[in-house]
Structure 1
Amino acid sequence: MTERQATIASSSGLHARPAKLFVSAVKEKGIPITISVEGGADLNAGSILALMGLGAAKGSVVTLKSDAEGAEQALDELVALLETDLDAE
């Protein structure tokens, strides 16, 4: 299982536009990926509803996981996306 942690950088957290961009990026990877906040359940990172339910605000640390082939590179790219202020772009 490959696992990475990321700190949410977007000022609105993982909601609205940042969530939409993140879900699109997850779907482009074509592998199953989960996301969770500390102490929370692993949720489908490719689901906008799951992301909205996380309640991940700016500064929250989330964990991404996948056991699929190519997960290392995919998770690294997704971490970079989450650690970018997507509201500013």
Structure 2
Amino acid sequence: MGERKATVAAEVGLHARPAATFVQMAMKAPMDVTVARSSGGDPINGKSILQIMALDVRKGEEIVIRAEGDGSEEILDRLADIASTP
């Protein structure tokens, strides 16, 4: 299983527009995508805007994004870029 760690850079954290952009990209992936806080906790569905927003990730916090399958490395790179863009 591939994974990427990313530090959330947006002022609003992984909420509102950054969350929507993240989910839109994740939805393009043919495989499951999960997101978890790097400090622990259960992974959530990276394709669910409600679950992403409920994770309540703030600016400066690190997340772990996971996906497995053909094309997962590319999607992980893109999702990490979205999360780490201010």
When normalised by structure 2's length, the TM-score is: 0.93
- Superposition misfits of 4+ residues, deviation over 4 angstroms: none
Q: CA RMSD in A?
A: 0.9
Q: Do the aligned partners of 2:18 and 2:82 also contact (CA within 8 Å) in 1? A: no
Cα displacement string for residues 19-57 of structure 1 (whole angstroms, at most 9, x for unaligned residues): 111111111223210000021101000001111111100
Q: Give the structure 1 partner of residue 12 of structure 2.
A: 12
Gaps of 5+ in 1: none
Matched residue, 1:59? 60
Supply the AA of the counterpart residue of 2:74.
Q
- Structure 2 unaligned runs (5+)? none
Structure 1: how far apart are the matches of 2:25 and 2:63? 16
Q: Percent of aligned pairs with the same residue?
A: 38
2:79 maps to: 78
Query: How many aligned residue pairs are there?
Result: 85
Q: Secondary structure at the match of 1:29?
A: coil
